[in-house]
Structure 1
């Protein structure tokens, strides 16, 4: 029986795929917690931290492109399971790393967990009708909450069993999730298996040559890439900028990651109801306002008055900072869902290849932005310089979207005029 869903087993497929994605995402951002210990142990600079964060993000981003083509060609369920099994040995090797270079090289291996999104999204979209894709992909995307699992569980593991046991414990957990997924997750429905041969193939050259796909990639670079970068960057930001303890920093970052991840399902519903483009535009404006205030560094001014000097101090305290970050996280959660809803509207038969490319460009934000954060903080000497950088990235996204929207409206008006004989063909 179908009820609201397209194929029998769709609820089980979506649930297990989301759990597996959450487990993979918790592994992918593991360095967000390890960095605090490594920064102290190895005396890392801000740039060193950025490079450390970038290592798993790099492979997780670049491998999403071939993963997308594989997911269009083969059954994504088995690709998904194989990917998890490949990552397990890297976690077992984690205790044996002793230098920054060692951790960076191992991070490239751990980063394979980042391809889970591409396999999972291709697997999930086979199970739902087009008008349910936004909600389904939003629910699946809530697996980003795996970051919250790491931020909550890793400090507990450290306190109870020590830093050296984080990797093996995560390896056991990921192995169990992989085996359960391969055992219980239904294979793709027969209708989708047949539809695989009806899909319109697209080459990487065609994707790279399509300006519209690059636009979607730029939007996703901000809503996902900056989300990923902030998960990695916020713990040490709280410690260095506000002198919080590691546990307090983890708690605040956990709040950001969990709320941003859980609203993604709601964002998918809004995108289904109101359209992905409208949701994206609203998201960008909200983030722009918040980033303006976050970019402002602590400032002291002296105004020479008539009788005496007036001293003014402008500073965003930790609670205002957290509130602004919370709003940005909520907006980004909506944005991540709406971008993929819009993408599915334009490329429903090529979600593996095109979705993988867009996901890769977005994940590159998690690779490049931490490095850029480290560079600007070291160069400018202001902790809030990282938010100045994000403000600039968002401004580019908004200008691009504005121009694209105007162009689309103009093309529609021209087409309407031609159809009504107001212009010569």
Structure 2
């Protein structure tokens, strides 16, 4: 059993620290998503009405900046180690959160865009947390280890559960104050728990610019970029846009659902609850996806997960679903996206084990770019067609491209580096 083996090898405090760091960083990174409606209402009071495209841009900026910063932090991980990189990055996030709180209700749209840029450091934590954990463990455990570390994306679930309610009671700026306080506690815990792997376990190999260019010339880098842009991009894109999607499509349904806590004045909180339910599936099932890939191979598992996503996305695009059915379908989409994330990163360390730091940054950046593109696509779909069918169709198309890509590389992967990878391909 893989979980039992984790106790015998590696360094569990570092694995725990990586999970906590990524969990709370991811929470801060996606904080604007569950607050989008409340922030829009505040800006409207000051005479600035957000268009569908501007709202999508605000939600896409932290995803985009997080994507690009993953490359930068991946470089710092290789050069200075994951622990030092994590501590500096977390301090920047905390400073951004305090700034957003101090601006309070008087904050402008341009200032919010600056806050979104700063929160990108939270999303870039992916390029730090995964090497922090993965460097301690052998190839045969990479799927489950990186799945556990990556399951820190459950932080977005916490966002959707609590941020709207905190905003309802004390106002949305207070959410940033709570986030800053929690991030400070995590920073202290991480400083004591985390430890970089010694040379006897993992030999650091700092990269130069030419090493980046060499990896970018490797066609497998681009295949992994595509696969992760679809899976993680889909997950983080839907997660950030979930509340906007539910409010624009099913606000009346949530208000009239028939339960006391779903009263109309609480509909924004309700949207957060249902959003959290769907996002939870993708967050908690990521390590399960890694474990499934360890057992049946990353390629075969991606076929299953991607195929399911295509079918579910087409259902959302082509059928006018009642509220309960839409929630079920979105829950399943997020579940398969989460498991696909775990499957992709079951393969990455087997192909690029000596370059895991920089590759985590590069591939993670592709995931963030995919997420920002998805948010902008859904914002465009809403603005152009007053609905999301076009957005779901475009997303399904990209997943089909990824499935076709797997078919092109599977034989070569299995007969080349896969024969000596140390795990199932």
SS of 1:128's equivalent in the other structure is: coil
Cα deviation, 1:243-285, whole Å, max 9, x if unaligned, reads: 2321221111101111211111111111111111111111111
- Pairing 1:328–2:333 present: yes
The one of 402, 405, 410 aligned to 2:410: 405
Question: What is the match of residue 270 of structure 2?
Answer: 248
- Pairing 1:262–2:262 present: no
Deviation at 1:337, TM superposition (A): 0.7
Q: TM-score, normalised by structure 1?
A: 0.87
Distance 1:199 1:278, change over 3 A: farther
- Counterparts of 1:113-192 in structure 2, within 5 Å, are 113-192=122-201
- Pairing 1:231–2:239 present: yes
Question: What is the match of residue 27 of structure 2?
Answer: 26
Distance 1:152 1:198, change over 3 A: closer
- Counterparts of 1:188-207 in structure 2, within 5 Å, are 188-192=197-201, 195-197=203-205, 203-207=211-215
SS of 2:156's equivalent in the other structure is: helix
Question: What is the match of residue 296 of structure 2?
Answer: 274
Q: 2-side partners of 1:355 and 1:197: how far apart?
A: 14
- Counterparts of 1:307-386 in structure 2, within 5 Å, are 315-386=320-391
SS of 1:192's equivalent in the other structure is: coil
Asked if 1 retains the 8 angstrom alpha-carbon contact of 2:312 and 2:332, the reply is yes
SS of 1:137's equivalent in the other structure is: helix
Larger gyration radius, structure 1 or structure 2: 1
Distance 1:78 1:249, change over 3 A: same
Asked if 1 retains the 8 angstrom alpha-carbon contact of 2:382 and 2:388, the reply is yes
The one of 222, 232, 236 aligned to 2:230: 222
Cα deviation, 1:266-307, whole Å, max 9, x if unaligned, reads: 11111111111111111111111111110115xxxxxxxxxx
- The Cα RMSD (Å) is 2.2
The one of 50, 58, 63 aligned to 1:52: 58
SS of 1:188's equivalent in the other structure is: coil
Question: What is the match of residue 393 of structure 2?
Answer: 388
Question: What is the match of residue 68 of structure 2?
Answer: 62
- 34-43 vs 226-235, which moves further: 34-43
Q: 2-side partners of 1:10 and 1:199: how far apart?
A: 25
Deviation at 1:201, TM superposition (A): 9.9
Deviation at 1:385, TM superposition (A): 2.3
Q: 2-side partners of 1:258 and 1:393: how far apart?
A: 23
- Counterparts of 1:409-420 in structure 2, within 5 Å, are none
Deviation at 1:7, TM superposition (A): 7.5
Asked if 2 retains the 8 angstrom alpha-carbon contact of 1:199 and 1:349, the reply is no
Q: 2-side partners of 1:104 and 1:121: how far apart?
A: 28
Deviation at 1:384, TM superposition (A): 2.6
Asked if 2 retains the 8 angstrom alpha-carbon contact of 1:51 and 1:371, the reply is yes
Asked if 2 retains the 8 angstrom alpha-carbon contact of 1:148 and 1:254, the reply is yes
Q: TM-score, normalised by structure 2?
A: 0.87
Q: Where in structure 2 are there 5+ consecutive unaligned residues?
A: 255-266, 420-425
Question: What is the match of residue 92 of structure 1?
Answer: 98
Q: 2-side partners of 1:202 and 1:338: how far apart?
A: 29
Deviation at 1:199, TM superposition (A): 9.3
Question: What is the match of residue 15 of structure 1?
Answer: 16
Cα deviation, 1:110-133, whole Å, max 9, x if unaligned, reads: 111111111111111111111001
Asked if 2 retains the 8 angstrom alpha-carbon contact of 1:38 and 1:44, the reply is no
Q: 2-side partners of 1:408 and 1:24: how far apart?
A: 34
